[in-house]
Amino acid sequence: DIVMTQSPLSLPVTPGEPASIYCRSSQSLLHSNGDNYLDWYVQKPGQSPQLLIYLGSNRASGVPDRISGSGSGTDFTLRISRVAADDVGVYYCMHALQTPFTFGQGTKLEIK
């Protein structure tokens, strides 16, 4: 199975400041079709997870452009250019290259 490793696990951020979350996979997520099968999700307090970024760098519907995804192969980054109070939650990366799909441990973003 592919192992997904996130860092940091806890991320305190001042509002208006940028934030980055890293995700590393134990094998390349680059498919022969050119897409990286890596998604990002956020679970806000009391809510179900919701999709932020799919196939490495594509924003899901309704996601603001201050949130972006990048990376290829085994190393990926989720960036929030200016953190807002509404961004509080646990962020997960997940690979969708093959079954079983696996998630990272989660990164808890909190406001300082």
Partner 1 sequence: EVQLVESGGGLVQAGRSLRLSCEASGFTFHDHAMHWVRQDPGRGLEWVAAINWNSGFKAYVDSVKGRFTISRDNAKNSLYLQMNSLRPEDTALYYCVKDMGTSGWYAFDMWGQGTRVTVSS
Closest CA to 39 of 11, 67, 9, 78: 78
User: Binding string, 19-58, against partner 1, x = CB under 8 A?
Assistant: ----------------x-x-x-x------xxxx--xx---
The span from the CA of 88 to the CA of 99, in Å, is 30
Minimum distance between the CB of residue 14 and partner 1, rounded to whole angstroms?
27
Q: Extract the tokens encoding 54.
A: 């799919």
| Residue 105 in contact with partner 1, rule: CB under 8 A | yes
> Which one-letter DSSP state was computed for residue 36?
B
* Closer residue to partner 1 in complex, CB, 55/88: 55
Distances (CA, A) of 58 to 71, 95, 110: 12, 14, 24
| Residue 92 in contact with partner 1, rule: CB under 8 A | yes
Which of 60, 81, 85, 108 contacts partner 1 by CB under 8 A? 60
* Closer residue to partner 1 in complex, CB, 32/48: 48
Cβ–Cβ < 8 Å for 80, 25: no
Q: Give the residues lining the site for partner 1 (CB under 8 A).
A: 35, 37, 39, 41, 48-51, 54-55, 60-61, 92, 94, 96, 99-103, 105-106
